[in-house]
Chains A and B, each alone.
Chain A
Amino acid sequence: MKERFRALDPRLLGVMLALIALGTLTLYSAGRHTPQAGIWLKQSVWNLLGLSLMLVLASVDPRRVFRFSFPAYLLGLVALAAVLVAGHRIGGARRWFVIAGQTFQPSELMKWVTLLYVSYRLGTRSPEAVGRLEVLGLAGLVAFPMLLVLKQPDLGMALSFLPILLLIPLVKGFDWRWALLLVVGVSAAGMFGWKHVLKPYQKQRVMIFLDPSSDLQGKGYQVNQSRIAIGAGGLFGKGFTSGSQAQLNFLPVKTTDFAFSVYAEEHGFLGVILALGLFGLLLSRVLDAAARARTSAEAYFCVGAAAIFAMHLMVNVGMVAGALPNKGMVLPFFSAGGSSALSFFLALGLVMGVLQRSRVP
């Protein structure tokens, strides 16, 4: 057991525990006097479970984990296909399995499995050996589960697969021609998607993002109230459990997507600096792991993990401030949710395993 605890990186663990503390306090405050009053406790159970799994995974040699990446990837695809057919439907979307009364979202874990497999594929050959066809193949490995997630539909989750593609320029270098191709490709896909794939509600979200004042009582309402909450927080914040926007329910979905607004209102700009600083340190430490990794696959995984975390950070924290469209992407450690929490902890467990076995401790 002692061995196992030694597997945990104290710096990464410290930052994580600090963020967990902030997130738990926020959920306590957000749930007060609502039917979700116990949500902080429930999330704490998930967090403890996640920490335990992290402990287990951190003590396992990452190379052994990578060995399971291909079967895990296949299993993930099957799960995503299955959830489309037999998943539990909430609000028109099939995203969840119900296991023992708990909803479980396979896509949360699948993005990490995809990263794991792509890192493994990339890491087992030298960069020169990775040809254009191979790159397209890798992109396909990411695109396939992404499309299945998009079909649920879950645009936010699908987008959180994108950071995995960052590994390609990391390995092959930044190429203007590729960048141009990507821009053209994304634009074309975007136009196609707007016409044929995006659901009306998604189009509406984009439109409202472009002009939030167009729909203050409807979809724009959420972001508008969130901005009011954040702005009203000021430098020092309204104080723990004292944010009027949060406590009087002006803030919508405040235990999940808008949990960070509750935090920003009650703890102010200083609190925001603290939280964002902790996230910066977290990402920084994950990148340390990438730099020190023994194998390329481990390094790539860590970079991809940092990219996925950064994506969540950017989209959620930016969205609640009205700087990015309201897409429904959770914020690690703050937003309530079991599947996402477990997935984040497992990913960080692997990162810790990498750090433990790195050449520079």
Chain B
Amino acid sequence: MEPRQRLLFLRRLGAFRAAVWGLVLALVAIYAWLQIIRHAEFQEIAREQAVKVRAIPAPRGLILDRNGYRLVDNRRALHLVIQREDLPTKPAVVAELAAALQMDPAALARKIQVYRAAGKGLPLVLKENMDEADIAMAERIRARFPFLSMEVAPRRVYLGGELAGHVLGYVGEVGEAQLKAHPDRYHLGEIIGKDGYEASGNDRLEGVDGKKRILVDQMGREVASFGQVDPIPGHTVYLTLDAGLQKVLEDSFQGQSGAGVVLDLRDGGVLAMYSSPSYDPNLFLDRLSQAVVDRYLRNPERPMLNRAIQGIYAPGSTFKPLIAIAALEKGVITPQTVIYCAGHKNFYGRNFRCDKPTGHGPLDLVQAIAQSCDVYFYTVASMLDIDDIYAAAKKYGLTVPTGIDLPHEKTSRIPSRAWKAKADPKDPRWYAGETISVGIGQGAVGLTPIALARFYAMLATKGKLLTPHLFLGLRDDKTGALELAPPPPVRDTGLDPRIWSVLDQGLYEVVHSGTAASVAMKDVTMVGKTGTAQVAAFVDKAHYEREAKNLKDNALFAGYAPREHPQIAFAVVVENAGFGADSAAPIAKKLVHYWCVDRLQHPLPPPQGPAADPFGSPAEAPADGSPGGTP
């Protein structure tokens, strides 16, 4: 190169060198802008996409019977979920996902909408309790839907199946209405009790969810977790139920509809409660699968109804002791009053017939109860005003709900003048003739089985009005011991002991020599009253009318045992079964015999110890549907 050209070249080279350093400085400036000026902003984005907060669902408390047999357990289940921040937005993706999961696209889209709108809550559960095929399916579709994840959560197992379906109830996702009403109490996706004791005991059973922060990678997979707040499991609850007695009660119905209740006379605890047909709570656990629920809801037999606390039955002759009390307390009769039964009697121009067409002849009160003579009680009722009967019913606790710790208890229907005015505004007057039917537990009167059982418990305890309840106590999770809860209040009705002894005698004669003599036992003295009542129309009205011809009377039996030192009181209703002594009384006999004899002679093996794992034991539910721990 010539010197002149070389000089030119060096000058141009100098310019290039400056440009190179200019480039370096420009890049430094860009990085200064990103790393110094906008650092906080990017730091936050990086943190948000890598650190997620996940709830750790707390297991619900187990439910045990009074002896510690597990009625409700938990299992680990794998759910297919979408974390809240991953909810898909594109309608096409949602539709495709619904197709892949065989779900209703509209329902899924709505669900996603609700979850996106909610400020806080749990992940959206798409498929619960996945089996191996489901897991394989989920793994397959996750390639297409990377926002899907799987989560382990405790899941309820009702070990007895239908054994105590109505009593235990079931759990489910908190409803939208409830969520709206108590936004601070519930959060979206929370599992709460929906019916039965699961609902009424929800505050005891529900634990407190824990949470953890996790580090996720780009695929949303958990890489590490920190800052874990452990979940607090719910309390393990002992119920007053006796699984063995409950099983006897369940088995006694053999396909017939009806209900039975057995109360513990020491404190009013419910030893057994069964409503037939029953349902299996396990079938109600799957969210977004409404089909099973619908099948139950549409069944005309109404299996969802807990007949023991919601069925209102005409009590028939089981109501007669109350009429006797009303009359004795008012003084219109004495125990020695004798009334002649000719098989029928005329009141207010209408002929009222007795069960025995040939007539019972002359009877005193004890004989009238033992023979269940209708004419006797027609006559007594004719001496009373309906409001006298109402007053007695009120005094002995029949006009209010029993207060059992189950949701949706119905109040028994005891007619009065005020009631008639309200119930039938077109014809508000009470006619004296209507009182005659009430005298034998027919007509407007209707009792729930639990109320009837409580009334007979009152008779058994010489006037103590117990509060039926299921909650026995909590398990101390450290020692595993039962901490008994104080029983709910008992009210003394002030029943005259003389009146009591007459009724006790009458009810004894029923089983000894009267209408239910066929169920008398050699080893236990049971007392009680049969009842046969026309079917009350609490079931679906159209169904009732359609079937009316085929329907026989409801059979009832209520009483207590053993007579000498009463331990239990009971009420049994068998729908459309005819005469009370033939179908309801034998069930009562089985219950009493089991409680007073079999249970003591052949005790059940001790229950399994408390599960160490708060999720419950890994063992499978017994296939025979018996309660957990029983052989």
Q: Does A193 contact B (CB under 8 A)?
A: no
**Residues 325-345 of chain B: 1 if any A CB is under 8 Å from the residue's CB, otherwise 0?**
000000000000000000000
List the A side residues contacting B135 at CB < 8 Å: none
Q: Does A277 contact B (CB under 8 A)?
A: yes
Contact check, B34 vs A283: say whether CB atoms are below 8 A apart: no
Which residues, 291 to 322 on A, are CB-close (under 8 Å) to B? Answer: 291, 296, 299, 303, 306-307, 310, 313-314, 317-318, 321
Q: Does B117 contact A (CB under 8 A)?
A: no
Q: Does A66 contact B (CB under 8 A)?
A: no
List the A side residues contacting B39 at CB < 8 Å: 231-235
Contact check, A170 vs B13: say whether CB atoms are below 8 A apart: yes
Which residues, 1 to 60 on B, are CB-close (under 8 Å) to A? Answer: 1-2, 5, 8-10, 12-13, 16-17, 20-21, 23-24, 27-28, 30-32, 34-36, 38-39, 41-43, 45-47, 49-50
Q: How near does chain A come to B367, taking the closest CB pair, in angstroms?
A: 88
Q: Does A127 contact B (CB under 8 A)?
A: yes
Q: Does B219 contact A (CB under 8 A)?
A: yes
Most interface-central of A233, A279, A306, A318 (chain B CB within 10 A):
A233
Q: Does B520 contact A (CB under 8 A)?
A: no
Which residues, 213 to 239 on A, are CB-close (under 8 Å) to B? Answer: 227-235
Q: Does B251 contact A (CB under 8 A)?
A: no
- A73 vs B60: C-alpha distance when bound (angstroms): 78
> A228-B42, A296-B1 known; A284 and B34 CB under 8 Å?
no
List the A side residues contacting B30 at CB < 8 Å: 318, 321, 323
Q: Which of A228, A229, A232, A287 contacts B17 (CB 8 A)?
A: A287
Q: Does A337 contact B (CB under 8 A)?
A: no
Q: How near does chain B come to A225, taking the closest CB pair, in angstroms?
A: 8
Q: Does B223 contact A (CB under 8 A)?
A: yes
Q: Does B217 contact A (CB under 8 A)?
A: yes
Contact check, A126 vs B10: say whether CB atoms are below 8 A apart: no
Q: Which of A126, A290, A318 contacts B5 (CB 8 A)?
A: A126
Q: Does A249 contact B (CB under 8 A)?
A: yes
Q: Does B218 contact A (CB under 8 A)?
A: yes
Q: Does A43 contact B (CB under 8 A)?
A: no
**Chain A interface SS verdict (over half):** helix
Contact check, B5 vs A234: say whether CB atoms are below 8 A apart: no
Which residues, 217 to 266 on B, are CB-close (under 8 Å) to A? Answer: 217-219, 223
- A45 vs B498: C-alpha distance when bound (angstroms): 109
Contact check, A269 vs B12: say whether CB atoms are below 8 A apart: no
Q: How near does chain A come to B43, taking the closest CB pair, in angstroms?
A: 5
> A248-B215, A248-B216, A273-B28 known; A169 and B12 CB under 8 Å?
yes
Closest to A309 in B: B20
Most interface-central of B30, B36, B46, B50 (chain A CB within 10 A):
B46
Q: Which of B1, B41, B49, B50 contacts A231 (CB 8 A)?
A: B41
Q: Does A244 contact B (CB under 8 A)?
A: yes
Q: Does A70 contact B (CB under 8 A)?
A: no
Contact check, B31 vs A321: say whether CB atoms are below 8 A apart: yes
Closest to A307 in B: B16
- A284 vs B28: C-alpha distance when bound (angstroms): 17
Contact check, B27 vs A232: say whether CB atoms are below 8 A apart: no
Q: How near does chain A come to B379, taking the closest CB pair, in angstroms?
A: 87
Contact check, A268 vs B13: say whether CB atoms are below 8 A apart: no
- A250 vs B216: C-alpha distance when bound (angstroms): 10
> A244-B215, A249-B219 known; A230 and B34 CB under 8 Å?
yes
List the B side residues contacting A306 at CB < 8 Å: 16, 20
Q: Does A253 contact B (CB under 8 A)?
A: no
- A169 vs B12: C-alpha distance when bound (angstroms): 9
Which residues, 110 to 130 on A, are CB-close (under 8 Å) to B? Answer: 126-127
> A228-B45, A234-B43, A244-B215 known; A269 and B35 CB under 8 Å?
yes
List the B side residues contacting A279 at CB < 8 Å: 24
**Residues 262-296 of chain A: 1 if any B CB is under 8 Å from the residue's CB, otherwise 0?**
00100011001100110110011001001100001
Q: Does A29 contact B (CB under 8 A)?
A: no
> A230-B42, A287-B13, A303-B16 known; A250 and B5 CB under 8 Å?
no
List the B side residues contacting A313 at CB < 8 Å: 23-24, 27
Q: Does A91 contact B (CB under 8 A)?
A: no
- A276 vs B215: C-alpha distance when bound (angstroms): 32
Q: Does A173 contact B (CB under 8 A)?
A: yes
Q: Which of A173, A249, A268, A310 contacts B217 (CB 8 A)?
A: A249
Q: Does A245 contact B (CB under 8 A)?
A: yes
- A174 vs B15: C-alpha distance when bound (angstroms): 11
Q: How near does chain A come to B144, taking the closest CB pair, in angstroms?
A: 14
Contact check, B42 vs A227: say whether CB atoms are below 8 A apart: yes
Contact check, A314 vs B23: say whether CB atoms are below 8 A apart: yes
Which residues, 141 to 193 on A, are CB-close (under 8 Å) to B? Answer: 166, 169-171, 173-174
Closest 3 CB pairs of A and B: A231-B42, A232-B46, A269-B35
Could you jot down 28 A-B contacts, CB within 8 Å?
A126-B1, A166-B16, A169-B12, A170-B9, A171-B9, A173-B8, A173-B12, A174-B12, A228-B45, A229-B42, A230-B42, A231-B35, A231-B38, A231-B39, A232-B43, A249-B219, A250-B49, A269-B31, A269-B32, A269-B35, A272-B31, A276-B28, A283-B24, A287-B13, A291-B10, A303-B16, A310-B20, A314-B27
